[in-house]
Amino acid sequence: MLTVETRHAVHPAAAKAMDTAALRQNFLGSGLFQSGEIRLIYTHYDRMVVGGVVPGDTPLTLDHVAEAGTASFLDRRELGVVNIGGPGRVSADGTAHEMARGDVLYLPMGSGPVTFAGDGRFFLASAPAHATHSARLIPLAEAKTLNLGAAETANKRRINQFIHPLVMPSCQLVLGYTQFEAGSVWNTMPCHTHDRRMEAYLYFDMKPETRILHLMGEPSETRHLVVANEEAAISPPWSIHSGCGTGEYSFIWCMAGDNVDYTDMDMVAMEDLR
């Protein structure tokens, strides 16, 4: 079963007037991981698509998605897949990729139908593409890692870069995930914006009672979302994207836009936040 929800772009002036329900309707992705289903969110921010796939007992195939306007979803798109579940298999273009928990798979434009099987819980991120690169399965050991933050500021973390210029080429999709040391709960703080790219987060590895206070909005007009396990936050280019958890968590980050430069960001001073 395939479900696609469309999210339109929101002007920052409109976001200032939104109540909690409107903010969640426009910027929170919930219920993405349902057994036997493919659930996608098609955003009008750089045409990014994010979603979840849980094969369950029967393999699921991602092929025609009407919102993409092509015969097959990857005819003019590239795709990143992150397995946050048990062992699974993703097959495309005649190759079956065995994915362990934490593995990332890149599939280029023109890969054709994609079939998901096994016990995996697959997070998807897709952006329009203009060229074909090589498919690649990237285990955690092959990721580029950055160790940032400190225990004193409760943000000691490891950033794992997978679909990234230092690891492998892509058209515009950049993707990885961040893991925290015990006792560290703050992510992406001090915060930033990047007007040339949108970004989306998927929070995972959380206990049922844990919540993330995900900060968004313009630096001078911040808002927040209360996010549960395996929920996504969609960040417009004009918005900060930062958060603090009530317990342990990890998060996947994915970006699309004008470039693939991970450091292309406009830092926001703490004293400028409102």
Per-residue pLDDT tens digits for 221-256: 999 999 999 999 999 999 999 999 999 999 999 999
C-alpha span between 260 and 175 (Å, rounded)? 10
Q: Is the pLDDT of residue 271 over 90?
A: yes
Paired residues of 107 in beta bridges: 79
Strand partners, 170: none
Res 262: pLDDT: 86
104: pLDDT confidence band, cut at 50, 70 and 90? very high
Q: Is the model's pLDDT at 4 over the cut of 90?
A: yes
Looking at every residue in the chain, the average pLDDT score rounds to 96
**Residue 241 marked in a binding site:** yes
What is the per-residue pLDDT for 261?
87
Give the residue-averaged pLDDT of 105-134: 98
Residues 232, 42, 20, 255, Cα dihedral to 10°: 50
Per-residue pLDDT at 34: 97
Q: So what's the pLDDT on residue 263?
A: 86
Average confidence (pLDDT) over 52-80: 97
Sign of CA dihedral 258, 167, 39, 17: negative
In angstroms, the CA 262 to CA 259 distance is: 9
Can you give the pTM of this predicted structure? Answer: 0.96
CA distance 269 to 91: 45
What pLDDT sits at residue 64? 98
Q: Is 194 annotated as a binding residue?
A: yes
pLDDT in tens, 189-217: 999 999 999 999 999 999 999 999 999 99
Query: Looking at domain 2-129+143-272, which CATH architecture does it have?
Result: Sandwich (2.60)
Every domain of the chain and the residues it spans: 2-129+143-272
Q: For residue 188, name the pLDDT band (cuts at 50, 70, 90).
A: very high
pLDDT at 99 > cutoff 90: yes
pLDDT digits (tens, 9 = 90+) for 257-266: 999 988 888 9
